[in-house]
Amino acid sequence: MERGGDVWISTVIYIALSIIAITLIISAGVPLINKVRDRNTFQQTKEVMHTFDAAIQEVLSEGPGSRRYLSPVIIKEGELYIRGLPYGGRHIIIWTMETKALLIEPGRVINEGNLKLNLNRHRILLDVYVANITMDYFDDRRIWIDIADEDRGPIRGKNSIAITNIGVCQFEPTCIKIAVS
């Protein structure tokens, strides 16, 4: 009978050690998986922003009345904001996301075409960064963004975006109307 008790004790010890080992593997793996996921999200969003900018450039080059539709525009993580005066003070399109991944060097701005990429330390949380991808149209190219209040953001998930060149407005050479649905 002693032999039967020893088997059960051994079984319980093996199960406990297995659970501990699996827990350690998961606790080490999940942060790594999250960082890889955030890197992929950053790259995919950068591609979406390049497509967005290319559509705006096409509409600008074709003149008033030109229109482009982007569908679907998928923002998996983070938030996309489209800002025009008077809200926000600048005509920009910006995507922002909190992450623990060191995507680029913090505090440095990287220019990729018309995109500006940067990563800043979170103001409150220690191990968290705020990643931004920005397209600044007013400062660089004097383009006026006309957008309805309900489309100002944050934009998340799957959307359709219409970009229209409506010509001269507000004493600026070019006015782009952006509608999100």
Residue-wise pLDDT for 28-83, tens only, equals: 888 888 888 989 999 999 999 899 889 888 888 888 888 999 888 888 888 988 87
Which tokens go with 18? 């297995």
Total structural domains within the chain? 1
What percentage of the chain exceeds 70 in pLDDT? 86
Model pTM above 0.85: no
Sheet (strand 109-112) strand order: 109-112, 115-121, 129-136, 92-99, 67-83, 155-169, 172-180, 143-147
Q: In angstroms, what CA-CA distances link 139 with 10, 41, 69, 85, 172?
A: 71, 27, 25, 12, 12
pLDDT at residue 1 above 60? Answer: no
Mind listing the pLDDT tens digit for each residue in 117-172?
999 888 887 888 989 998 877 655 667 777 776 667 688 888 888 888 887 776 66
Distance CA 168, CA 125 (A): 44
Instruction: Write the DSSP string, 74-109.
Output: EEEEEEEEEE-TTSSSS-EEEEEEEESS--S-TT-E
pLDDT confidence of residue 2: 58
Mind listing the pLDDT tens digit for each residue in 75-84?
888 898 887 6
Distance CA 46, CA 75 (A): 10
pLDDT at residue 88 above 50? Answer: no
Distance CA 98, CA 38 (A): 9
Distance CA 112, CA 88 (A): 23
Can you give the residue range of the structural domain that contains 6? Answer: 2-180
Residue 50: count other Cβ atoms within 10 Å of its Cβ: 16
